[in-house]
Structure 1
Amino acid sequence: MKTVSLFELISALPHTPWITYEKDFFIVDMTYRPGSRTVLAYPCKFDGIICMYCIEGHFQLSIGLDDYDVRPDGFAISLPGDIVRLEKANGEETGKVRLLGVSGKLLKEMDFDMAKAMNVFSYRMVQASIKYKILIHNFRNIFRSILLEQHVDTGKSLAYVLGAMSIEIENIWSRLAYGPQRKYQDGGRLTDRFLSLVAKHHLEHREIDYYATEIGLTSKYLSTAVKRESGRTAAQWIVSYVLLEAKYYLKQTKMTIKEIAFELHFSNQMELYRYFLRHTGMTPSDYRNRPQ
């Protein structure tokens, strides 16, 4: 069976991805209407990783010789070389899935450990909890931020965020598919470990010292290493996570700014006001009222 490249898959999909990077990365929401079929309805083998998250409906997913019953909040992953087939279980129902694809080329740049992945993801689907749905949402917004502000180190930044995401996805499987979560073991890049911690703790801890202590380094060493490896300072990464949370609540909820400040662990509304203004050049109210 022919191995399909990520670019060929993107070209064959009926929906335009809303996040892409060259031919190596994409995120797309696919809506299945009654009677509709896509290229994924036929067995395909890809040269990269495809993550699938079910938003609505009921799907039948085949990966290799294993069949999975996928319902809302089902989270599945296919690895390079897997034979994949996905279609609605009931052709008369509407369904929606979010796909994230990473090419084999980008996986090499990430130093992706295929042998480890084959062991961790021996069972290819889990049912995502509320905690991990929020985590997935946060990573999606980080990807959007990086790709909207493209610069000379965009590819490097993307690779490191994907590395951090891969650690978290491994934790999902460790917790939901295999029982108690395993402790992080050394051997991965420092930036991967740092971003993994930031994704979990950026609301409670906006200071670099916390992450340096958790990793067992000085703040100066951590900042220097993260800047060297990712093109961004540790402080910039932390700010990016916090701002994405703030922007989400400002645009997607009707919470007051005072309520948002409390949700984001600021001591009061004025502290959030100053933080947001310093890092974006506009007030929270101005951002909320700005046209989409």
Structure 2
Amino acid sequence: MVSRNPIMTTPEEQFTVGESDFAFFGSCPYRIEGGALLFCRGGSAVATIDQYRGEVRADTMLLLLPGSVFLLADRSADFRVTYCAFSLDLFSEAAFRLDPAFFAALREQPIVRLHPRLVEGASIWFQMAGYTYRDRDNMFRNTIIRNRLQNVLLEAFDKMQRFGSRRQAVSETTTRQTELFHRFVSLVHENCAHEREVTFYADRLCISTRYLSTIVRSIAHTTAKEFIDRSVILEIKMLLQSTDLSVQEIAYRLHFPDQSYLGRFFKKHTGESPTEYRNTKK
């Protein structure tokens, strides 16, 4: 039996709360349309959110921002997650006026093991969200969950700001490089489906390709080209697993010259052809 995507929302149902083993996400990448907060209750797994990879076990919190690519692997039989998923519109309303740099930082580290003193608070938040979800006759239901989502984002922002205030001041140059890196990540996220050359991103940032490569290597410990290519591979994997598009159609959608070019690119980075990958993940 095909499992159901537990964090899918609809225009009629703007948010959903529940508990799941997340079997639906078994080793296949999916692009998140809206967003979700996940709180691991038990078991273990390895999660990849865009290019961030981390272990998930009890008391781990995950934030899936709109548009992120989510992959769950090595899920144990007793893996359980409490979740609150929300539509893009609901998230946009909750996130209104929050500092864009905050979300850039969250994209860099969307998987966090909670400190013991924060676990109780997280549990209470999900209990309250669940109560609101079940109270279907409440005329302010969507407004309440939007406010609760905004509250948890503000709590996270507060903890990041307070932690950051205890760190030593960084130099203006480092701050500038970090800002450029955040902008680079956002540009790759938006454009990697059709732009794979470092020069495109350097031009958009109004810096040289050499300077961009220096920034990416110092912060992400990889080259700018490798960072872009990994994002493209995630896009291809997602399309192979979540759509019925042929390899040729995927090549056209991602602006590859032809199917063969995409096949060589994919095998170079994964060790298998697109067809082999699709067949092994069925």
User: Normalising to structure 2: TM-score of the pair?
Assistant: 0.49
